[in-house]
Amino acid sequence: MRNICLKRPILFFCISFSFLLNLFFAKTALAQQSISSVPYVIFNEILANEPGSNTKLEWVELFNADSIEHDLGGWLFVSKDDTTEILSGKVIPSGGFLIIARKLVTQPPDSISFEGYWGDGSGVWGDSELEDSPAIEAKMSLTNSGGTISLIDLSQNVQSFTWDDDCGDGVSLEKQSPEVGDQADNWSCCVHPDKSTPGEVNSVTPAENDLSIQSEELFSSPEIPLEDSTFSITAVVRNAGSAKSFANELAFFNDQDWDGFLAEHEQLGDMITIPPLEVGEADTISIEVNFPKGNYRIYARIGKDEKEFNNQAFTNLKVRVALPDLVINEFMYNPDLDLSQTEWVELYNRSENPISVKNWLLGDSVEQKLITPDEVIIEPKRFLIVTQDKNKFQETYREVSCEVIEQESWQSLNNTEDKVILKDTLNLLEDEVSYTGISADKGISWERIDYNVASNNEDNWWKCVDPKGASPGEENSLHTQYSNQMELTITPNPFSPDGDGFEDKVTFKYVLPKMSELTLKVYDIKGRLIKTLMEDEPQVAGEITWDGKDDGNRILRVGIYVVTLVVAKK
């Protein structure tokens, strides 16, 4: 009995040990197979930051990198705490895609669904050429700035992808090379104009034959051509593919009706040959044109290749006469805050036609912001004040007769070095004034001298010489005539400040070179300073009277006195 009892536990132990050992080896082999094999159905594109605030438009794209199709029935898709089982019959073809959408379809008129946004909006998936990939609906909640999703196949192999990048509103995150893993450097934000590419080859996936052109590399020389003058339009074409490109062609177009459809009659000149380019190589192509005054939309278009979304680009172009119709005329960039002053810019319509500034932009060298969404008209030869604070402006300048509007979001001007930039509704430069290197005086505006001289001429600007420190809504103080030489007249001379009402005061009239500061002082015949009438005052022309009293307010004795006029050119 004792021997039998001993054998049975030993036999049982041996059997149990053998079973556990085999199970361990099997699990180890399975784990090694899962780790060493490359998944054939992979995560390929993710839209976590849905367009607008409609979370129904979140989706994930799968790609089949295998040489055969696969039925994903029974597979699991996991997003946070949500798990969705894919039903049988959902087949993803070789080299094809499958969309997992948070909301696949809705019934019209509700269009907030994947099919409504990326399909034809019929309420049925798969009934148009836009909907040629299989798609399913799944529970998901994707966080814009980061998250993890997982895919579990029938063998319980788990594939997970984690992102920590927000590409922006409506912009998807795309895998560059399907045959490479999910490391961070193999994922990039979509660069397609539509911001995502569901059911298509990813925009960041290299193609062998792929020429590209970007709006940033389509430009005119000069930037703002003059009316009826010959100028050039240039496009830079790059080989963005993974191999030497094929020969191709490029054409320029003037989209006359601004509809984005390029007709044959809108083509500028003949097709231009693009030679084969090495990987990363660029070719610069230019044509010469001549346009009348106006705004234009110019396109450059490359012939077909493996990626057509980057084969076309456009730029907006302004052609004008020598000077813009609407100019920056005066601006306050360093207000005296102790006097509750505010920043402002005065615009002047130098043309013969009314100009609306609806949807125009105004700002500094960093950013230009919307002036107004409303229809605000500047009549010919009239002014408009755009200010940071309308109430403060009107408290400072109570007699301004022109229209004053307050910009919703004001781009503050630097006190000593910046630009004032005005752009039209197409974001095209209308006028620009630089005041680099100016030593600013608080509460004194910067004025244009001549409407018919370009804004970029430094000699056409100087600080206001009006005693108020600015001249908003009226002719600039610098429009007063000035001389290339100093001119000083004294009337009467001599004078007699004896209080008899006859010639009790003397008047000094002066005309100075522009951009000058005036110092006017009176000395006795021994060279001693008697009276300071002006010191380092910005002046062009004017006059000042003296009552014959010294700086101590004492009447001077009869005699000869010396007047000195010193002009400092700035």
The string of pLDDT tens digits covering residues 366-421 is 999 999 999 999 999 999 999 999 999 999 999 899 999 999 999 999 988 899 99
Phi, psi of 147 (to 5 degrees): 175, -175
In which band, very low, low, confident or very high, does the pLDDT at 6 lie, cut at 50, 70 and 90? very low
Let me know if the fold of 326-479 is the same as that of 487-569: yes
Within 8 A by CB and 6+ apart from 549, the residues are 497, 531, 555, 556
Weakest mean pLDDT among 2-11, 343-352, 469-478: 2-11
In which band, very low, low, confident or very high, does the pLDDT at 501 lie, cut at 50, 70 and 90? confident
Q: What is the pLDDT of residue 543?
A: 79
Mean pLDDT of 262-267: 96
Weakest mean pLDDT among 71-75, 81-85, 528-532: 528-532
Nearest residue to 172 (alpha-carbon basis) of 128, 132, 206, 202? 202
In which band, very low, low, confident or very high, does the pLDDT at 2 lie, cut at 50, 70 and 90? very low
Q: What is the pLDDT of residue 85?
A: 97
CA–CA gap between residue 209 and residue 304 (Å, rounded): 10
Q: Please determine, for residue 32, whether its predicted confidence score (pLDDT) is greater than 80.
A: no
The string of pLDDT tens digits covering residues 85-108 is 999 999 999 999 999 999 999 987
Q: What is the pLDDT of residue 183?
A: 87
CA–CA gap between residue 385 and residue 371 (Å, rounded): 11
**Bigger pLDDT: 450 vs 312:** 312
DSSP, res 413 = P
Contact (Cβ atoms closer than 8 angstroms) between residue 43 and residue 171:
no
The domain made up of 326-479 has a fold known as: Immunoglobulin-like (2.60.40)
Q: What is the pLDDT of residue 491?
A: 85
Q: What is the pLDDT of residue 425?
A: 94
Q: Give me the amino acid identity at 359.
A: N
Q: Give the start-to-end residue ranges of the domains of the chain.
A: 41-189, 211-319, 326-479, 487-569
Within 8 A by CB and 6+ apart from 384, the residues are 346, 347, 349, 357, 376, 378, 402, 403, 404, 405
Contact (Cβ atoms closer than 8 angstroms) between residue 310 and residue 210:
yes
In which band, very low, low, confident or very high, does the pLDDT at 10 lie, cut at 50, 70 and 90? very low
The domain made up of 211-319 has a fold known as: Immunoglobulin-like (2.60.40)
Distances (CA, A) of 568 to 255, 372, 565: 54, 41, 10
Distances (CA, A) of 54 to 148, 170, 547: 20, 10, 78
Q: What is the pLDDT of residue 523?
A: 86
Q: Please determine, for residue 441, whether its predicted confidence score (pLDDT) is greater than 70.
A: yes
Q: Please determine, for residue 541, whether its predicted confidence score (pLDDT) is greater than 70.
A: no
Instruction: Report the mean per-residue pLDDT for the chain.
Output: 87
Q: Which residue shows structure tokens 């295998």? A: 66
Peptide bond into 538 cis (omega under 30): no
DSSP, res 444 = -
Within 8 A by CB and 6+ apart from 325, the residues are 349, 350, 351, 353, 355
CA–CA gap between residue 352 and residue 544 (Å, rounded): 38
Under CATH, which number does the domain 487-569 receive?
2.60.40
Q: What is the pLDDT of residue 500?
A: 78
